[in-house]
Amino acid sequence: MIKADYKKYILHFKQPAATSRGVYTERIIWFLFVFDSDNPAQIGIGECAPLPGLSPELDAGFTEKLTDICKNIERYYDRMPTDLTEFSSLKMGMETAFLDYQNKGTKIFHRNAFTEGKRGIKINGLVWMGRQEFLDEQIRSKLNDGYTCIKLKVGAIDFEAELALIKKIRRKYGAQNVAIRVDANGAFCPAEVMDKFKKLAALDVHSIEQPVKPGQHDLLARLCADSPLPIALDEELIGINSIRQKQELLDYIHPQFLVLKPSLHGGFGGCSEWLELAQASNIGWWITSALESNIGLNAIAQWVSTLESNLHHGLGTGQLFTNNFDSPLSLVNTELRYDINKPWRLSSLFND
C-alpha cells in the first residue's frame, strides 16, 4: 500500500543572496516521501519549494494541504486532483515523488542522452544583486568562465551604473558572442520604462524579464507592442492556472518570451500547458529553477532535457548552499551535466 510523509528542511546559503524581495541567508523547503508500506526502502522523493513573497500557496494553507496529501496519498496517486491549482510547488513535489517512486528511487525519470551523461543543458550565467564592485566582479568571472549568455538583475542600483556595466561587456563582446538578459523583477516605473528600454536596446540586450510590477496588463500589452526590446513574462504568470486564463493572457499581452519556473507556474504539468500555448503563438521561452536543492534541480533539469529548445536556461548549479546534497549534477564548461559516476548522498536528509 502506498504511503507518504513529509519533512521540513532548511538550506543555508554560502553567502547572503540579495534578491528584489530581500536578502536570503536560508531557504526553507519541504520534502515529500512516497513509499510502499510493504517495501519502505523504495522511496520516491519530491521537493516542494515555495518562495516567500511570490508563492500564493504559502498564504493558502500550504502545510495543511501537504498534510492532507500525505493522509490521502492513494487518492492523489490515482489522479492529480484539480484542487491543487493554487499549489504549484506541491504539484511539482508530487509529480517528482511519484516519478521517483515509479522508477524505484533512482532519481532518474527520463532515460536519455542527458541522464546518460552524453549531453548537457546550456545555462546562463546569473549575476546576483549587490554593489557595483560586486556586480563587476561577478560579470568578469562569468565571462572568464566562458558563459555566452549572462543574466543581470537591474533596478537594484543606479540605472546608469547598470548601463555602464553592460557597456563594459559590449566593448569586449558583441551580441553574437555574448547574449545579455536583464531582469527588472518589476522595478521599472511606467513613466520611465520606455526610455530605459531604448537605452538597453541600443546595447543589443537580448530581452528584459518582468519590467513592471505584475497585474498591469494594459501597460504590458502596450510595452510588448511598442518596445524595441523583447519582453519576457515571469511573475506575471503566477496564479494564472486554467488553460482559458493562460490563453487570454497571452492573447492580450502578446509577450515575446515566457520564463517558466515549475515551482511557481503549476509544476511540470502547468508549465507544459504554458509551453504548448506559447509554441502555438510563436512565443519563445526558457526554463528557470527557483533556488531548489539538488533534488528539485535534478527533476527540473531532467524535464528540460526532454524539451526542444536552443535557448539558454536559467538553471542553478547546486553550488549555493552549504548543506545541499551531493548528486550527479555538475557544471562542465557552462553546461549543466549529469555525471553517471557520481552518486547521490542523502544521509543528511534522513539523519537530521
Beta partners for 209?
183, 232
- CA torsion sign, 165 to 168 to 169 to 174? positive
* Annotated catalytic residue 167: no
Distances (CA, A) of 87 to 69, 177, 235: 12, 40, 15
Kindly give, in sequence order, each residue whose CB lies less than 8 Å from that of residue 71, ignoring residues fewer than 6 positions away. Answer: none
Pairing of strands 149-153, 207-209: unpaired
Contact 198, 219 (CB under 8 A): no
Distances (CA, A) of 196 to 38, 48, 152: 61, 37, 15
Instruction: Retrieve residue 123's grid coordinates.
Output: 545555462
Catalytic residue among 107, 151, 196, 261: 261
**Residue of 241, 245, 297, 243 whose CA lies nearest to 265:** 241
Contact 57, 169 (CB under 8 A): no
* Annotated catalytic residue 199: no
Catalytic residue among 91, 153, 196, 246: 153
Catalytic residues: 153, 261
